[in-house]
Amino acid sequence: MKEDFEYFITNKNTLSFGINFTHHTISPGNVDIFDDASINTKSIQSRYGLENSAYISDDWHATNKLNFLYGLRLTEFSLLGPGTITTYDTNDAAISSTNYTSGQFVKTYLNPEPRFSMSYILDEQSSIKASYNRNTQNIHLLSNSTASSPTDLYIMSINNIKPGIADQAALGYFKNSKDNMYEFSTEIYYKWLQNQVDYKNGAQLLANQDVESQLVYGKGRAYGLEVFLKKKYGDFNGWIGYTLSKTENKFDAINNGNYFAATQDRIHDISVVGIYKWGKRWTLSGTFVYGTGNAVTYPNGKYIVGGLTTFYYPNRNADRLPPYSRLDLGATLEGKSHKRFHSSWTFGIFNAYNRKNPYTVSFENNPNDPTRTQAVETSLFGVVPSVTYNFTF
């Protein structure tokens, strides 16, 4: 449930406020374990949470050139029953387990989220903007950082898992030119991350009912530069965006307590979009994207005991998947003009040059020489053509 309000105090002050209530359910599901001739089903218990928030902000035009936007958001998150909740010490040993009934409150977190931004108009075409804001995240995504198929898991804030907190500061320059035909912006940012969560080394990922015992907690940081250029009008328009960034985490129990690349770290990210109006009915478009490959952990050794191979993974996220790139092409043919309805055909080619972007990379023994290791890439989609017909009336 969500409700937002605006109150116009004066022509220079606008007050915004509202509330939001969300009920969360995370259901990991069941896992079938095959043991000789029998099948055992292992259920992973669901988690339930209630997330409430209220906010208020003021948009104040102090002068013709100076504008402030400031406010506060208050977030409350409560873990609810039913379920069995286990509390662990710093050595991952269980201290206590408690059973909760449906709707019973297990743990509640209350976090304020202040926001502040300002903009100053330098002249008729350019301005500068600065901002600070805090965001709280009560649902965490855990991703396996090895090169094999990811095992992603969503978990809620609980006794041992505090809400993630991010404080971000940003400074940007914005400029429009030639009667707002061209739009340019560049911005730098720095983000401080608290209460980060990740798997510990050697964690048991599959069908683990006590995943909290397999986690470590630390901090992180993210910083970067964003550049954006857009042509807004004319037969040919489009935009170019580039981001240079770094996202790192730090855990005492991983990589000797040193910072390492987070799974979502992407150093270079480029997108180029072009749109061309050809005649009265045709519109041609193309989109090119390029990004640094995801940070992953490759093995640098292996052990063979009793005919079974176990790979050795040293430093977390010290390697990269190959860079991701893709070109999408499209053409739209507008139907003939009619008062009562409108139609169009859209022809598209996803991944036009059939780039085999690796989704995962797994490692296995070479079947011809078990002492050697081979890497096997798995890609999801090559070139994909499409045709769409739209009809509105």
Tell me: the pLDDT tens digits for 229-262? Answer: 999 999 999 999 999 999 999 999 899 999 999 9
- Alpha-carbon dihedral 103, 106, 107, 113, rounded to 10 degrees: -10
What CA–CA distance (Å, rounded) separates 116 from 17?
15
Q: Give the model's pLDDT for residue 264.
A: 85
CB 222 within 8 A of CB 248: yes
105 forms beta bridges with 80
Residue with tokens 């965001």: 135
Q: Give the model's pLDDT for residue 241.
A: 98
Q: Give the model's pLDDT for residue 309.
A: 84
The amino acid present at 255, given as its one-letter code, is N
Q: Give the Cβ contact number of residue 124 at 10 Å.
A: 7
Q: Give the model's pLDDT for residue 83.
A: 86
Helix (H, G, I), strand (E, B) or coil at 78: strand
Q: Give the model's pLDDT for residue 65.
A: 95
Residue with tokens 């804001």: 133
Q: Give the model's pLDDT for residue 301.
A: 87
Helix (H, G, I), strand (E, B) or coil at 256: helix
What CA–CA distance (Å, rounded) separates 74 from 53?
5
- Using a CB cutoff of 8 Å and minimum separation of 24, what contacts does 62-67 make? 62/12, 64/121, 65/120, 65/121, 66/118, 66/119, 66/120, 66/121, 67/118, 67/119, 67/120
What CA–CA distance (Å, rounded) separates 236 from 231?
8
Q: Which residues of the chain have pLDDT under 70?
A: 29-38, 40-42, 90, 92, 145-151, 204-209
Q: Give the model's pLDDT for residue 365.
A: 86
Q: Give the model's pLDDT for residue 363.
A: 86
Residue with tokens 């072009």: 274
What CA–CA distance (Å, rounded) separates 307 from 372?
14
Both tokens of 168, joined, read: 């971000």
Q: Give the model's pLDDT for residue 274.
A: 97
Run of H or E including 295? strand 295-296
Residue 323: asked if its preceding bond is cis (omega within 30°), the reply is: no
Helix (H, G, I), strand (E, B) or coil at 211: helix
Cβ-in-10-Å burial (0-12, 13-18, 19+) of 318 comes to middle
Residue with tokens 């409350």: 76
What CA–CA distance (Å, rounded) separates 211 from 209?
6
What CA–CA distance (Å, rounded) separates 315 from 374?
20
**Rounded alpha-carbon distances, angstroms, from residue 333 to 277, 313, 352:** 10, 53, 20
Residue with tokens 């430093």: 315
Please report the domains of the chain, with CATH numbers, ordered by start residue.
92-106+118-392 (2.40.170.20)
- Eight-state DSSP code of residue 200: P
Q: Which residues have CB under 8 Å from 151's CB, separation 6+?
A: 143, 144, 205, 206
